[in-house]
Amino acid sequence: MQLEAAAQYYTRGCSTSRKQNHIGPCGTRASARKDALQLEVTTATAVKRQVFFDAQTHLIAKEAATVGGVEEEVLYDDYRTVDGVKLPHKIELHGGATNTTLKLRRAAINGTVGERVFDFRSSRK
All domains of the chain in start order, with CATH: 2-109 (2.50.20.10)
Examine the pLDDT at 122 and tell me if it is beyond 60: no
Read off the pLDDT band of 33 (50, 70, 90). Answer: low
Tell me if 23 sits within 8 A of 29, measured CB to CB: no
pLDDT single digits (tens) 49-107: 888 988 889 899 999 988 778 888 999 999 999 999 999 999 999 988 889 999 999 99
Pairwise CA distance, residues 125 & 118, whole Å: 14
pLDDT at 16: 46
Pairwise CA distance, residues 76 & 35, whole Å: 14
pLDDT at 27: 55
- The b/e string for 72-101 (b: 16+ C-beta within 10 A; e otherwise) is bebbbeebeeeeeeebbbebbebeeeeeee
Question: Between residues 124 and 92, which one has the greater pLDDT?
Answer: 92
pLDDT at 112: 85
Read off the pLDDT band of 11 (50, 70, 90). Answer: low
- Determine the length of the chain: 125
Q: State the CB neighbour count (10 A cutoff) for residue 22.
A: 12
User: Mean of the per-residue pLDDT values for the chain?
Assistant: 78
